[in-house]
Amino acid sequence: MELVTYMHCEYFAAGQCRSCRDIPTPYHQQLAAKQQRLLMQLSALPSFAEVDLLPPFASAEAGFRNKAKMVVQGSVENPILGIIEDQQAIDLTACGLYPAEFQQAFSHIRDFIRQAKLQPYDVETRKGELKYVLLTSNGAGWLLRFVMRSQNHIAAIKKYLGQWQQQWPELEVCSVNIQSEHKAILEGEQEFVLSSQTKLCHRLNGINLYVQPQSFFQTNTDVAAALYQTARDWTADLPVQRVWDLFCGVGGFALHLASPQRQVTGIEISAPAIECALQSAQELGAHIDFRALDADAFAKAASEGPELLVVNPPRRGLGAGLCEQIELLKPAFLLYSSCNPDTMQQDLLRLSRYAVRKAQLFDMFPHTAHAEALCLLERISS
């Protein structure tokens, strides 16, 4: 008889946190359900009979998150890092999704809050300053962001930063984000980097990928590495010389697909992300044309398209306009990475001149309904 195991979570059992709604379900069943959902989404495509749907890439069940987003409640003397559930502050620092080293990091952060006297923001009274702490790990170093109501405590944080980094030398990047509105918004536009180092380096598949305080990076490093490596493997033998990576972020796909025989262009609207991508390309010795532009506008202005187009859109998908432009640009191959297979299905139905050749699910977020999907498409008609 097969032994079925469950990841037990005290927070879920006590009704304190429901973020991982599928945690009572054995992981292999979660994975099978996500695979079945992707199968159903792909089955709506005219080319479904020709799709090579590969087995899903599984995540570790626990300790897989490389970042924490914590609401700060309580008091200066006793700060609580976690969530607010039914108007109660829940300390979530023992969450099993975080690797063990996060415990020491959370301890350092609580000490910082006490020393700099960062008063947690109270939603009801609208008093206090510190709203969130946002923490990112690369497995060896840390990037820490304080989300504050105002700039009033920046001087205090700067005052103690050198001392903090002596106590916690793995803290590489520290910043303050200003979110002054009384709304459930995670962060604002203003960011003040207080440390001498401004970027945290994640090394995936032999490539350095850098993130700054407001850069996007996948939450599950091991699964992200598998996603990028799969993209590299699927496209290695394609007869293409010109490659575009739209919505390229810090350059994960573009850097993995680069070679001396290819002209690679990466487009991303975030200038800080492009700055990170350029540093990675320089260190890799890859000649990639990274540009801080709107992906839709870039595609519409182009007179000639690439032979391989890589797209990694936000959850809303590509949309009808960009799909129409892709049809006009006529890339021979399309690599579509999606964090929302529902909108991906809508886009693939719009791309009527393309057939899906390969598809695979990457489970970035165990115990939830979310998943990443990667599809390789080929143009089948002019």
Whichever domain contains 333, its CATH number is: 3.40.50.150
76-112 confidence digits (pLDDT tens): 999 999 999 888 899 999 999 999 999 999 999 999 9
pLDDT tens per residue, range 179-203:
999 887 899 999 999 999 999 999 9
- Domain contains 188: yes
Q: What is the tally of structural domains in the chain?
A: 2
The predicted-structure confidence for 263-298, as pLDDT tens digits, reads as follows 999 999 999 999 999 999 999 999 999 999 999 999
CB contact at 8 A, 47 and 351: no
Is 213 part of a structural domain of the chain?
no
Which residue segment(s) compose the domain that 299 sits in?
Answer: 24-61+220-379
Q: Are residues 281 and 152 in the same domain?
A: no
Judge whether 12 lies within some domain. no
Q: What is the mean pLDDT of residues 342-354?
A: 94
Q: In what order do the strands lie in the sheet with 288-292?
A: 52-53, 354-362, 372-379, 333-338, 308-311, 242-246, 263-268, 288-292
Distance CA 277, CA 150 (A): 31
Q: Is the pLDDT of residue 303 over 90?
A: no
Query: 235 and 126: one domain?
Result: no
Boundary residue ending a domain (177, 204, 231) = 204
Residue 277 shares a structural domain with residue 357: yes
Q: What is the mean pLDDT of residues 342-356?
A: 95
d(CA 234, CA 356): 13
Rounded mean pLDDT of the chain?
94
Beta bridge partners of 60: none
| % the chain with pLDDT above 70 | 98
For residue 181, give the nearest of 152, 148, 214, 153 by alpha carbon: 148
Indicate whether 2 pLDDT > 70.
no
Pair 93, 186 in one domain: yes
The residues near 183 (Cβ < 8 Å, ≥ 6 apart) are none
Which residues participate in catalysis according to the annotation?
Answer: 339
Residue 42 and residue 103 in one domain: no
Whether residues 193 and 102 share a domain: the answer is yes
What is d(CA 15, CA 85) in angstroms, rounded to the nearest whole number? 9
Same domain, 274 and 189: no
- Residue 173 counted as domain residue: yes
Asked if pLDDT for residue 119 goes beyond 90, the answer is yes
Tell me, yes or no, whether 46 and 174 share the same domain: no
Burial (CB count <10 Å: 0-12, 13-18, 19+), residue 316:
exposed
Final residue in a domain of this structure, among 204, 228, 259:
204
9, part of any domain: no
Residue 1: per-residue pLDDT: 32
d(CA 83, CA 74): 11
pLDDT at 5 over 60: no
Same domain, 37 and 97: no
Residue reference for tokens 């791309």: 351
Mean pLDDT of 320-342: 95
Q: How many helices (H) and strands (E) does the chain have?
A: 10, 17
Under the banding of pLDDT at 50, 70 and 90, the label for residue 3 is: very low
The answer on 178 and 288 residing in a single domain is no
pLDDT in tens, 28-76: 999 999 999 999 999 999 989 899 999 999 999 999 999 999 999 999 9
pLDDT value, residue 4 = 43
Q: Let me know whether 195 and 344 are in one domain.
A: no
Q: What is the CATH number of the domain that holds 118?
A: 2.40.50.1070
Q: Residue 111 and residue 95: Cα distance in Å, rounded?
A: 20
At 6 the pLDDT is 57
Q: Are residues 187 and 163 in the same domain?
A: yes
Of 176, 204, 232, the last residue of a domain is 204
